[in-house]
């Protein structure tokens, strides 16, 4: 209902400063990266002519394609598990009493104020061979020798879900909170049991929140590098790590730029799919 008002607003002169901001800090930056990706590397951190596509040709090697697939798979599972864990969480948070809701929201938000690196170090301790998880499993007797949890795909995956879950919970929460519950009562009244009412009414009506959450968890998961650096093994090479390595270790600016452009393109495709499915930018604002 507010859609016409919104399109109107972007045409208002007041939107101009935002447009200027976007052009200066996003548009120009993007053009610089794209231009850079076509150059050839010089000495450390320099680049220049000739302008070719050879950086993109390099990406087509098995090494990078394997990394790309690994990144996409990890991002996919991250988004999936964030949805499976985050939806019930957000649902019950929205249904909780206002008092309880404030507390749950605090529990969700407060970790945000702590440095992400410090929180990841927390996971390192939890996952370590002599850490609490192994200690507990050994004590119960489920395992005889400590499990190797740290520096595996598993630890990266868990850390990623942990880092991303708020971005699923918040849009789903705001979708559930906006629900008109009389529609669910109407469904019950018309013969739907609670499960059917949830599947046919609540779930479709909160779908915009889920879609927004999927995009908001999927996209950053492809690019995060410090998480896999700290929790992952030597064979966990995600796309973010590739960019990071080319930039800071190989000091190959044009190639790092080309890798970034691929990441950007992926992001663009995800957003296109999101729009196609009826997703709206507003659903990502909570």
Sites of contact with another protein (CB under 8 A): 1, 180, 182-183, 185-193, 196, 200-201, 204-205, 207
> Nearest distance from residue 197's CB to another protein, in Å?
8
Cβ closest to another protein, residue 83 vs residue 201: 201
Cβ closest to another protein, residue 70 vs residue 206: 206
> Nearest distance from residue 196's CB to another protein, in Å?
6
Q: Are 37 and 55 in contact, with CB atoms under 8 Å apart?
A: yes
Give 115-171 as a DSSP string.
Answer: -HHHHHHHHHHHHSTTSHHHHHHHHHTS-SS----TTSHHHHHHHHHHHHHHHHHHH
> Nearest distance from residue 254's CB to another protein, in Å?
48
Q: Measured between alpha carbons, how far is 8 from 216 in angstroms, rounded to an integer? A: 26
Q: Which residue in 108, 76, 81, 267 sits closest to 174, CA to CA?
A: 108
Cβ closest to another protein, residue 88 vs residue 194: 194
> Nearest distance from residue 277's CB to another protein, in Å?
13
Q: Measured between alpha carbons, how far is 134 from 240 in angstroms, rounded to an integer? A: 30
Cβ closest to another protein, residue 28 vs residue 186: 186
> Nearest distance from residue 187's CB to another protein, in Å?
7
Cβ closest to another protein, residue 54 vs residue 275: 275
Task: Give the tokens for residue 278.
Answer: 């009826």
């Amino acid at each position: 209902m507010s859609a016409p008002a919104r399109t109107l607003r972007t045409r208002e002169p007041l939107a101009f400063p935002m447009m200027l901001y976007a052009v200066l800090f996003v548009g120009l930056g993007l053009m610089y990266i794209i231009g850079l990706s076509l150059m050839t590397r010089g000495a450390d951190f320099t680049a220049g002519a000739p302008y070719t596509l050879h950086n993109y040709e390099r990406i087509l090697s098995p090494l990078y394609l394997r990394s790309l697939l690994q990144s996409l798979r990890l991002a996919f599972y991250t988004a999936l598990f964030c949805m499976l864990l985050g939806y019930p969480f957000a649902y019950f948070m929205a249904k909780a009493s206002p008092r309880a809701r404030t507390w749950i929201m605090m529990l969700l938000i407060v970790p945000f104020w702590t440095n992400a690196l410090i929180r990841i170090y927390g996971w390192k301790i939890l996952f370590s061979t002599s850490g609490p998880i192994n200690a507990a499993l050994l004590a119960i007797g489920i395992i005889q020798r400590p499990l190797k949890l740290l520096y595996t795909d598993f630890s990266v995956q868990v850390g990623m879900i942990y880092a991303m879950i708020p971005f699923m919970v918040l849009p789903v929460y705001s979708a559930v909170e906006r629900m008109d519950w009389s529609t669910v009562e109407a469904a019950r009244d018309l013969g739907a049991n609670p499960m059917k009412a949830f599947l046919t009414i609540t779930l479709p009506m909160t779908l915009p929140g889920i879609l927004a959450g999927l995009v908001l968890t999927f996209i950053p998961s492809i690019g995060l590098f410090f998480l896999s650096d700290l929790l992952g093994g030597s064979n966990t090479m995600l796309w973010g790590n590739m960019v990071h390595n080319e930039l800071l270790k190989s000091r190959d600016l044009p190639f790092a730029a080309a890798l970034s452009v691929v990441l950007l393109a992926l992001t663009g495709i995800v957003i296109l799919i999101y729009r196609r499915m009826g997703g709206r930018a507003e659903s990502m604002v909570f």
